[in-house]
Structure 1
């Protein structure tokens, strides 16, 4: 359960997929916290987290996820799933969809029966006048009556074209749902006709044939139950199929059973279906018995699991909860939480916690979060006193490489932010990295183990850093789509959040968000991640060429007013520019962040700096777009100590150098005999300052021995074997400049 004020950070945007040094991972989202064993009758509170997108490369998985991840479809099921003739076996000219809109009565029935199943299947795509002509209520009623008549002698296969009639009706319901304005309303006349058709079909003795020939049409007829919203009327058909099914049934018959999942799941949206189940408790016990009788077939993505999960909807219904509780309790406690039965038990567990909250003692599930940790995370590895990895499955080499990457990143981080140790009251002395085997397992288990939202690529939770014993945790998953390369999605980005929270940001995440700090929080994480890995940030360089944002605008970025491009790509650009061009401003900003003076930091950004750097930032973006983004200054020389602000020495710098357009900032230093090389560098600030050197006399644009006249303020002059004594250099205001740092070194 999340503590109040826990730091929860949204995950890195989906596009940022780059390899990590030594094949060490990268992960993709953040917001986690400390697991606690639930007390009986106490529901878990949702952790404070900000969802972020998954990688677009995250593969789809056939296995079901927790109910909060699945949106129940509103429209009838589209297209045929079973029994269609492969297109290669049917001449293209055999299907003229306009013919269905131009006929009616017996001619329409003949047209439907004569068409191939693939041709009828294409009718799901009809729109406009064609949809109206084919599927208005009169046409649908005609075909429903034809199915009724054909079903009287249904032979157990499609020799009488019952399959085409069923599929036509399915297509009509689908098109009318999506294009009711074109097709028109359906009323009681059609409902009566469809009920007659389905009654006759399911009453036909040969619909019980356990053959693929029967199953092809039967599977479509089961789906038609839901398309016509007759779920309540045919609960007996569903029970019959579930009671009769065995794992030896052929594929098409198995599909007919699988299609009952839609009838059941969507039936719970219909009051009459709920009433039918209230009146017939054997429906629920039939579903439960179907699961226990066929449990050997469960592999996570099977029909037994999917149909068994529907028992959770009983718990979600006030009217059916009493029926559902003992059945769900039995299944949760009967089958393991991990392995092939995990998808069933974890989904049913979700229903008990989200739809029947506060009753974990009844279900016997109060200790499940703590129980799951050792069951799921079988790897427990300590990198050092500060880093621990809990994983579902990692090799010794993968663990070693991950530890190495994070330890080296720690060393990379501190020279950038120039901290003096942890901020006051921060007790997050260690980080636990949790690694699930893939996105599916993360989604299946992490919501329960750590009380987090899982529709993202991972979560980082700082917790309450002022609380002794608090455990910061990053909950991640392997980027399975990159295998055989091993990578934890966004690992280095997330580790930067831990370091930044510990060494730069006072208090918890919520405190740091009282003013807009997202540009720094996410931009630094990107900067350190890419810099540490030596990776080229293609997406950010591309954005630099667009010049979308002013620097002063980026200082206002929040998670609510920005998309992932602004948060991550532009956060990176803003932080990189500030670190390279205005390190003294970054130092002043971090001094405010480290004591929790959020308003003081905001004043520095929006008033002291304001729009002063916008023009220079725009110029820097153009250079960056050409792949000349510059580099972070090496460790800065100390400030010069001479009282005369124009005087420099062997290894010192002066900040805040300025001059107006057309004027100079004059400087000088004394060189002892034997100097082999003098280097003068300038950078940062606003405007455009050119650098001139003139040996033993004042340097001007008309009197100099060397010059550096790049655009902006990034200038360097290296003078070999300069004369001893006083030498002179100056910055000329090609455009008025301010805030420039000038450094002199010699050897």
Structure 2
């Protein structure tokens, strides 16, 4: 399945992203005095890097929390000077002594000592060569410090004052990788927690999620949970008691997701199975509880595979479709949109965009219809509200990877009843504007697979074809929308790859820049400079002769065009990439410059900002399809069509409003008689070519 370029990520946790990835200790404090929206207070780090023993302890205790918080950024010699193992042992022993009389607030500077130790572990993790290793001396000292703190009666106070230090101490458990030793502390916090805990006390409980999640990376943590099955039931009880708090980005969800790690462990699977089964079936798959249930389902299906009957989840993919995709819109018999929440106008505009893209695509590839044995006559476009919902649900609904910006499923185009499907999401980071991320890119994959590539997607991957598959998708997406491809032009200036090397690109040997930016450059160059070779190549692709296509690229063409490609790249980097050859229609002959005919064009069309260029043509009875295109010139002209009456921005049946002047409208079964369209000057335009064709 072709992949889309990546997309910005949602910060909420996803189970699939945390497995098998050792992560660093948590970074700086966000609690207590150190929790502030302003920039951290300036702090002289030499007071920490040049002292040891009692002087270092005094320096830490007398510093403000904001000052200690800046130590998380130390590197090099400063990191060594502050956090050598001997310094860490000294401060750990000081925390042990202070904890013996911990009063439940920070009057004895326990918070500074805890935060310093957290900073040391963080800095050493990221600068191990500079700081040096931590050994048994520090392990013994940190255990003494944490034992003393958590044994102190006031460490159990449910107060904001205690919570500020307690939250940091909970995180220190993980920083020191003592997760297994303090499972009892975690269990106590989860068991004692109520909805009345707010502020730093709630944060302290929330921080146990890190202790649990990273604990599963440690064999001794798993062993501790094997020896104490009540830990698993305590986690489950914590979730069910506090399920009213579930929103997807709350501590209950985050901690509840970690229950899934139980079924990921051979030694804990027996404990985890009934708990995961209960939670997945207890809470709805969508809404506030969806992030919890779907992440736990991910663990059940990926870490305890083949047991959907036990979990009662075999029918979940089919159940999810109507639950998640509540909007169902049919553009035409060949195109359907299923989405979470698209409006009627968004559906209509999306249909128009895709239908009009057809004409642009066919002008580029000059096909003669679908390839043999292709029955993918209809495409289903699936649109999630945002990337998070895409990643949360699409993996289960359609069994696809979701570490991308969208996916096209071609299936077996020769199989009767096969459903081609583009699975996408809205670009929520562009709101309040509406955009389906990679919409035109992925639709090109559908068209390319149907009209250019014989067989299914895997057949087309038997030889390297990615330069064409992804390059064409980028070329059509940017060209059809009239959007300047800034990233590709920037890459052209670097001259990184010869053309012959790009013919060898695969998903495995190329990064996203080579796949998408350089694929676009290669396809654009070949379409403009060697269209006959493209025609010959597509003849091989359409016949499924992958070896013949490979011979054409690597032997017949080989390195012959590398030098010219390098010259073209330099011109393209200067924003002179040229234009592809086009088969222009003849000029219209009617005396009225507003009138068009069956297959004709008018050049030099212009209008000032806010004005219209009104046009019309006469259609005989029986016209099945009318296509109106605009191209070239300066400014920004938007195209509107309104059937038997004048077209304006407030009265229209269809529109194409891309940036620039590259607009296309394809009208199916238009009425006979005079029909009207217009170009509205979003920005004053001139030199535009307008073409009308119908069949």
Q: TM-score surpassing 0.5?
A: yes
Q: In the alignment, which residue of structure 2 is the partner of 1:84?
A: 33
Q: In the alignment, which residue of structure 2 is the partner of 1:64?
A: 13
Are the aligned partners of 1:90 and 1:116 in contact in 2 as well (CA < 8 Å)?
A: no
Are the aligned partners of 2:212 and 2:258 in contact in 1 as well (CA < 8 Å)?
A: yes
Distance 1:104 1:521, change over 3 A: closer
Q: In the alignment, which residue of structure 2 is the partner of 1:495?
A: 443
Which SS does the other structure have where 1:594 is aligned?
helix
Structure 1 position 85, deviation (Å): 4.1
Deviations 1:198-257 (A, max 9, x none): 222112222222211110001111111122222222222111111111122121111110
Are the aligned partners of 2:30 and 2:36 in contact in 1 as well (CA < 8 Å)?
A: no
Q: Please say which structure displays the higher CA radius of gyration.
A: 1
Q: In the alignment, which residue of structure 1 is the partner of 2:222?
A: 274
Are the aligned partners of 1:210 and 1:250 in contact in 2 as well (CA < 8 Å)?
A: no
Deviations 1:36-56 (A, max 9, x none): xxxxxxxxxxxxxxxxxx13x
Which stretch shows the higher mean deviation, 559-568 or 67-76? 67-76
2:145 matches 1:197: yes
Distance 1:566 1:113, change over 3 A: closer
Q: In the alignment, which residue of structure 1 is the partner of 2:264?
A: 316
Partner residue of 2:3 out of 10, 15, 19: 10
2:53 matches 1:105: yes
Deviations 1:594-631 (A, max 9, x none): 11112222233333334444454445444444444443
- Rounded Cα–Cα distance in structure 1 between residues aligned with 2:37 and 2:312: 55
Deviations 1:19-78 (A, max 9, x none): xxxxxxxxxxxxxxxxxxxxxxxxxxxxxxxxxxx13xx2533x2213335664433222
- Rounded Cα–Cα distance in structure 1 between residues aligned with 2:84 and 2:10: 37
Deviations 1:551-581 (A, max 9, x none): 4443333333333333333333333333334
Structure 1 position 195, deviation (Å): 2.2
- Rounded Cα–Cα distance in structure 1 between residues aligned with 2:80 and 2:581: 70
Deviations 1:512-562 (A, max 9, x none): 222232222222222222222222333333444444444444333333333
Q: In the alignment, which residue of structure 2 is the partner of 1:118?
A: 66
Are the aligned partners of 2:41 and 2:66 in contact in 1 as well (CA < 8 Å)?
A: no
- Rounded Cα–Cα distance in structure 1 between residues aligned with 2:40 and 2:546: 72
Q: In the alignment, which residue of structure 1 is the partner of 2:415?
A: 467
Q: In the alignment, which residue of structure 2 is the partner of 1:260?
A: 208
Q: In the alignment, which residue of structure 1 is the partner of 2:669?
A: none
- Rounded Cα–Cα distance in structure 1 between residues aligned with 2:132 and 2:533: 66
Structure 1 position 358, deviation (Å): 0.9
Are the aligned partners of 1:520 and 1:571 in contact in 2 as well (CA < 8 Å)?
A: yes
Distance 1:419 1:67, change over 3 A: closer
Q: If the length of structure 2 is used for normalisation, what is the TM-score?
A: 0.80
Q: If the length of structure 1 is used for normalisation, what is the TM-score?
A: 0.74
Partner residue of 1:207 out of 151, 155, 159: 155
Are the aligned partners of 1:59 and 1:481 in contact in 2 as well (CA < 8 Å)?
A: no
Which stretch shows the higher mean deviation, 163-172 or 451-460? 163-172
Are the aligned partners of 1:315 and 1:324 in contact in 2 as well (CA < 8 Å)?
A: yes
- Rounded Cα–Cα distance in structure 1 between residues aligned with 2:103 and 2:448: 72
Are the aligned partners of 1:131 and 1:182 in contact in 2 as well (CA < 8 Å)?
A: yes
Are the aligned partners of 2:381 and 2:424 in contact in 1 as well (CA < 8 Å)?
A: yes
Distance 1:598 1:98, change over 3 A: same
- Rounded Cα–Cα distance in structure 2 between residues aligned with 1:91 and 1:341: 37
Which SS does the other structure have where 2:51 is aligned?
coil
2:405 matches 1:457: yes
1:384-423 to 2 correspondence within 5 Å?
Answer: 384-423=332-371
Distance 1:106 1:88, change over 3 A: farther
Partner residue of 1:383 out of 331, 336, 344: 331
Q: In the alignment, which residue of structure 1 is the partner of 2:287?
A: 339
Structure 1 position 151, deviation (Å): 1.7
2:427 matches 1:517: no
2:240 matches 1:292: yes
Deviations 1:481-501 (A, max 9, x none): 111111111111111111111
Deviations 1:328-348 (A, max 9, x none): 111110001111111111111
Are the aligned partners of 1:152 and 1:201 in contact in 2 as well (CA < 8 Å)?
A: yes
- Rounded Cα–Cα distance in structure 1 between residues aligned with 2:57 and 2:367: 80
- Rounded Cα–Cα distance in structure 2 between residues aligned with 1:172 and 1:544: 45
Are the aligned partners of 1:72 and 1:266 in contact in 2 as well (CA < 8 Å)?
A: no
1:12-91 to 2 correspondence within 5 Å?
Answer: 13=5, 54-55=6-7, 58-61=8-11, 63-68=12-17, 72-85=21-34
Segments of 5+ residues of structure 1 without an aligned counterpart are 1-7, 14-53, 638-747
Structure 1 position 186, deviation (Å): 3.3
Q: In the alignment, which residue of structure 1 is the partner of 2:302?
A: 354
- Rounded Cα–Cα distance in structure 2 between residues aligned with 1:442 and 1:89: 35
Structure 1 position 319, deviation (Å): 1.0
Distance 1:446 1:111, change over 3 A: same
Structure 1 position 399, deviation (Å): 0.3
Are the aligned partners of 2:71 and 2:116 in contact in 1 as well (CA < 8 Å)?
A: yes
Q: In the alignment, which residue of structure 2 is the partner of 1:535?
A: 483
Q: In the alignment, which residue of structure 1 is the partner of 2:254?
A: 306
Structure 1 position 128, deviation (Å): 4.0
Structure 1 position 129, deviation (Å): 4.1
Which SS does the other structure have where 2:284 is aligned?
coil
2:535 matches 1:587: yes
2:544 matches 1:596: yes
Which stretch shows the higher mean deviation, 598-607 or 109-118? 598-607
Distance 1:590 1:230, change over 3 A: closer
Are the aligned partners of 1:434 and 1:476 in contact in 2 as well (CA < 8 Å)?
A: yes
- Rounded Cα–Cα distance in structure 2 between residues aligned with 1:104 and 1:627: 60
2:102 matches 1:154: yes
Q: In the alignment, which residue of structure 1 is the partner of 2:84?
A: 136
Q: In the alignment, which residue of structure 2 is the partner of 1:436?
A: 384
- Rounded Cα–Cα distance in structure 1 between residues aligned with 2:39 and 2:134: 33
Distance 1:293 1:460, change over 3 A: same
CA-based RMSD: 2.5
Which SS does the other structure have where 1:380 is aligned?
strand
Distance 1:594 1:236, change over 3 A: same
- Rounded Cα–Cα distance in structure 2 between residues aligned with 1:108 and 1:583: 74
Distance 1:529 1:302, change over 3 A: same
Are the aligned partners of 1:66 and 1:443 in contact in 2 as well (CA < 8 Å)?
A: no
Which stretch shows the higher mean deviation, 128-137 or 289-298? 128-137
Which stretch shows the higher mean deviation, 138-147 or 628-637? 628-637
Are the aligned partners of 1:147 and 1:165 in contact in 2 as well (CA < 8 Å)?
A: yes
Are the aligned partners of 2:10 and 2:387 in contact in 1 as well (CA < 8 Å)?
A: no
2:169 matches 1:176: no
Deviations 1:400-447 (A, max 9, x none): 011111111112222322222111111111111110000000011111
- Rounded Cα–Cα distance in structure 1 between residues aligned with 2:163 and 2:37: 22
2:240 matches 1:240: no
Which SS does the other structure have where 2:233 is aligned?
helix
Are the aligned partners of 2:3 and 2:405 in contact in 1 as well (CA < 8 Å)?
A: no
Structure 1 position 395, deviation (Å): 0.3
Distance 1:86 1:528, change over 3 A: closer
Structure 1 position 192, deviation (Å): 2.8
Higher relative contact order (CA 8 A, sep 6+): 1
